Chains A and B, each alone.
Chain A
Amino acid sequence: MIKGKFIDNLPKVYGIYTGGFIGFIILMAIAEQMGMTAKAIGIAFVVFTIAIYAIIGWLSRTLQMDAYYVAGRQVPTVFNGMATAADWMSGASFVAMAGGIYFKGYGYMALLVGWTGGYILVSTLLAPYLRKFGCYTVPDFVGTRYGGNAARLSAVLVLTVASFTYVTAQINATGTIASVALDIPFKLAVYVGLASILLCSMLGGMRAVTWTQVAQYIVLIIAYLLPVFWISSKMGAGFFPHLMLGDEVARIAELEAQFGLGTIKNSAADLATVPKGLAGITKAHSSVNGTNWGFISLAICMMAGTASLPHVMMRYFTTPSVKSARRSVAWSLLFIFILYSTAPMLATLSKLSLIDPTLSTGIIGKSIADVQALDWYQNWNQANLMFVSDFNGNGTLELNEFFMGGKAVVLATPEIAGLPYVISGLVAAGGMAAAMSTADGLVLAIANALSHDLYYKIIDPKAETAKRLIVARVLLVVIGFAGATIAAMGIQGILGSVIWAFDFAMSGLFFPLVLGVWWKRANGPGAVAGMLLGLGSGTAYLIWVRNGGSGFWGITHLTFGIVGSLVSLVSMVVVSLLTKEPDRATQDMIDELRVPSGKAILGKQH
Chain B
Amino acid sequence: MSNKTKHWEKTRGLLFVTLAIWFVFSIGIFFFGTEMEASSFRPFGYPLSYYMTCQGSLLAFVILNFWFAGRQEKIDEEFGFTEREDS
Q: Which stretch, A47-55, A62-70, A333-341, A549-557, touches the partner chain B? A: A333-341
Given A110-B53, A246-B45, A287-B47, A116-B58 contact (CB < 8 Å): yes
Given A119-B61, A243-B44, A326-B69 contact (CB < 8 Å): yes
Given contacts A249-B50, A330-B68, 13 further A-B contacts (CB under 8 A): A112-B54, A112-B58, A113-B26, A113-B30, A113-B57, A117-B57, A120-B22, A121-B22, A124-B68, A249-B45, A341-B59, A344-B50, A594-B11
A591 at the interface (CB under 8 A from B): yes
Q: Which stretch, A213-221, A288-296, A460-468, touches the partner chain B? A: A288-296
| Number of chain B residues close to chain A: CB under 8 A | 49
Tell which of B50, B68, B82 touches A596, judged by Cβ atoms closer than 8 Å: B82
Please name all residues of chain A whose beta carbon is closer than 8 Å to the beta carbon of B34 when the two chains form the complex.
Answer: 288, 292
State whether A119 touches B57 (Cβ < 8 A): no
Given A321-B87, A594-B11, A596-B82, A299-B27 contact (CB < 8 Å): yes
A300 at the interface (CB under 8 A from B): yes
Please name all residues of chain A whose beta carbon is closer than 8 Å to the beta carbon of B25 when the two chains form the complex.
Answer: 113, 117
What are 9 of the A-B contact pairs (CB < 8 Å)? Answer: A113-B58, A119-B61, A120-B61, A244-B44, A320-B87, A333-B62, A341-B58, A595-B7, A595-B79
Min distance, Cβ A258 to any Cβ of chain B, angstroms: 19
- Mask of A575-606 contacts with B, CB within 8 angstroms, 1/0: 00000000000000001001111000000000
Min distance, Cβ A464 to any Cβ of chain B, angstroms: 28
Determine the distance from Cα of A191 to Cα of B31 in the docked complex, in whole angstroms.
45
Tell which of B22, B49, B84 touches A288, judged by Cβ atoms closer than 8 Å: B49
State whether A120 touches B81 (Cβ < 8 A): no
Given A288-B33, A300-B27, A595-B81 contact (CB < 8 Å): yes
State whether A330 touches B27 (Cβ < 8 A): no
State whether A597 touches B84 (Cβ < 8 A): yes
Please name all residues of chain B whose beta carbon is closer than 8 Å to the beta carbon of A596 when the two chains form the complex.
Answer: 76, 81-83
Q: Which residues on A are within 8 Å of B, measured CB to CB?
A: 106, 109-110, 112-114, 116-117, 119-121, 123-125, 128, 242-247, 249-250, 286-288, 292, 295-296, 299-300, 303, 320-323, 326-327, 329-330, 333-334, 337, 340-341, 343-345, 591, 594-597
Determine the distance from Cα of A299 to Cα of B45 in the docked complex, in whole angstroms.
25
Q: Which residue of A lies closest to B45 (CB)?
A: A246
State whether B55 touches A323 (Cβ < 8 A): no
State whether B54 touches A329 (Cβ < 8 A): no
State whether B47 touches A123 (Cβ < 8 A): no
Determine the distance from Cα of A300 to Cα of B23 in the docked complex, in whole angstroms.
10
Tell which of B19, B44, B84 touches A120, judged by Cβ atoms closer than 8 Å: B19
